[in-house]
A and B are shown apart, each in its own frame.
Chain A
Amino acid sequence: MRYSIVNVLKEGLAGQQGWQAAWRDAVPEHRYDVVIVGGGGHGLATAYYLAKLHGITDVAVLEKGWLGGGNTGRNTTIVRSNYLLPGNEPFYEHSLKLWEGLSRELDFNVMFSQRGVLNLCHSDAQRDVFARRGNAMLMMGTDAELLDARQVRRKVKGLDFTNARFPITGGLLQRRAGTARHDAVAWGYARAASALGVDIIQNCEVKGFVRDRDRITEVETTRGRIGAGKVGLAVAGSSSLLAEMAGLRLPIESHVLQAFVSEGLKPWLDTVVTFGAGHFYISQSDKGGLVFGGDIDGYASYAQRGNLPVVEHVAAAAVALFPALGRVRLLRSWGGVMDMTPDGSPIIGKLPLDNLYMTGGWCYGGFKATPASGWCLAHTIANDAPHPLNEAMRLDRFARGRVIDERGAGPRPNLH
């Protein structure tokens, strides 16, 4: 049943008895043309676009827990496309365009709010770097605006402009960027994919792959063996572990990234502000909580929790930027496991087997990429070849020396 005002009114009069479950909780079949491992946003989006755009509907999505219970439920919901490099920017801009039409496309309100993302700068040199990135964005067809200190002061209240170490001299604003509701993205894609015939199988953990030379023939799961024509991995955070089950090594180190939510406040911040120099970013959710975070802890981890020095650092940056936050109480904090790659950019493409593909290596930028990641992986699986948008994100870029290193930090995963 469509979610529409007509149906809401009808169901209101009929005692809300007619609503159906948003997706079928499927029982695994013997074999599928395509098996997607990972029922987060990326895996569900892949399944949806396989069915919608490529006519491949014999698809299963295997999820070890519940839908969207992994990194889809552990991010800070920011969507943007403010990248410098040609290997990245067209991909993220495509993603942003998909976000702009997503609620209508899926018939599910993903609450995408284009409230803008503002990166603050603190020196002439940093402003020049931002101007360069903004110009690159404009040349690649997205929006960017360089603000001076006066414009920043008008846009965001409560910033400390007198900080001696990091005086705010301006910022780079992308107005079309913003935030979305993370659960709704998983649920919306699940509902739309399920309606097209995709089987969504929860509580089904992948334990291994059965290989016949360079082909994967079956996926071993906690709910039995499932035959597969092609297999796609969408398990960022655990990509190395799944690849190892297929006998492969990846250029990925798993790291923990912490994030925080404060108690609910009245509307106070109507945009996303990033304070890169202080390793801090913040936005306010529709419920009123301030959602914020910083950098990764810096050591390899699968623990989904971090350590206190980073909590202290993030809190210090918060009050340095917004002194008024000094009295705000923290509601909760959590850690998510990130696939950190040696160049800070993702991997979407075929792995060195005949029928295994992946989207992963998302570092800490996977949420915004959800639609385009699924869109590109679906294209790559359906055509056995990458789309021009994810051509640069192939795994073999490392061997070919074609890394996409936005920060110029070199091959150390914990520096990106």
Chain B
Amino acid sequence: MRITCPCCGARGIAEFSCLGNAPPARPADDAPEAAWVDFVYFRSNPAGPVQELWQHVQGCRSWLVVTRDTTTHAVLKVELASGAGRR
């Protein structure tokens, strides 16, 4: 599996660290407890394309939103997390 970092180009995954699912935004601080339980623990975990947060830890250290197929490991899209509307 190789990921094409927008800053550094195509690199092997050993250079990257996977944080996990890129879930929708955090619930509001005063959101009901159920929303927080779902955000912290529950996952949609699809067999197919999924959005994940990866960091290019042994390169430019950028945070990336990677769209990847969990059944084939094909990397479909890579964007800077900041560009994808994430801080």
Residues of B within 8 A of A412 (CB): 19-20
Contact A301–B20 (Cβ < 8 Å): no
Judge whether A19 is part of the interface by a CB distance below 8 angstroms: no
Judge whether B77 is part of the interface by a CB distance below 8 angstroms: no
Contact A303–B73 (Cβ < 8 Å): yes
Interface residues of A in 372-409 (CB under 8 A from B): 398-399
Residue from the list A241, A250, A413 in contact with B20, Cβ < 8 A: A413
Give the total of A residues in contact with B, Cβ under 8 Å. Answer: 24
CA distance A303 to B70 in the complex (A): 7
Distance in Å: Cβ of A253 to nearest Cβ of chain B: 5
Judge whether A195 is part of the interface by a CB distance below 8 angstroms: no
Contact A307–B43 (Cβ < 8 Å): no
Residue from the list B13, B43, B52, B72 in contact with A250, Cβ < 8 A: B43
Tell me the dominant secondary structure on chain B's binding face.
Answer: mixed
The residue on A at minimum CB distance from B19 is: A412
Fill in one digit per residue for A293-323: 1 if any B CB lies within 8 Å of its CB, else 0. Answer: 0000011111100010100000000000000
Interface centre among B14, B21, B46, B47 (most CB of A within 10 A): B47
Residues of A within 8 A of B72 (CB): 303
Contact A398–B47 (Cβ < 8 Å): no
Fill in one digit per residue for B23-53: 1 if any A CB lies within 8 Å of its CB, else 0. Answer: 0000000000110011011111111001010
Contact of A307 with B40 at beta-carbon distance under 8 Å, contacts A298-B18, A299-B52 already known: no
The residue on A at minimum CB distance from B12 is: A309
Residue from the list B14, B20, B34, B41 in contact with A300, Cβ < 8 A: B20
Contact of A250 with B1 at beta-carbon distance under 8 Å, contacts A299-B18, A301-B70, A412-B20 already known: no
Contact of A251 with B43 at beta-carbon distance under 8 Å, contacts A398-B37, A399-B34 already known: yes
Contact A398–B41 (Cβ < 8 Å): yes
Contact of A301 with B41 at beta-carbon distance under 8 Å, contacts A309-B14, A399-B34, A414-B18 already known: no
Residue from the list A252, A300, A309 in contact with B70, Cβ < 8 A: A300
CA distance A398 to B47 in the complex (A): 23
Residues of A within 8 A of B17 (CB): 298
Residues of A within 8 A of B20 (CB): 253, 300, 412-414
Contact B34–A301 (Cβ < 8 Å): no
CA distance A411 to B14 in the complex (A): 23
Contact A240–B45 (Cβ < 8 Å): yes
Distance in Å: Cβ of B29 to nearest Cβ of chain A: 18
Fill in one digit per residue for A248-260: 1 if any B CB lies within 8 Å of its CB, else 0. Answer: 0111111000000
List 11 A-B residue pairs with CB atoms under 8 Å apart, sorted by A's residue number.
A249-B42, A250-B43, A251-B41, A300-B45, A302-B70, A307-B73, A342-B41, A399-B33, A399-B34, A399-B37, A413-B43
Instruction: Report which B residues bind A (CB closer than 8 A).
Output: 1, 12-14, 17-21, 33-34, 37-38, 40-47, 50, 52, 68, 70-73
- Nearest 7 Cβ contacts at the A-B interface: A240-B45, A309-B14, A251-B41, A398-B41, A299-B18, A302-B47, A399-B37
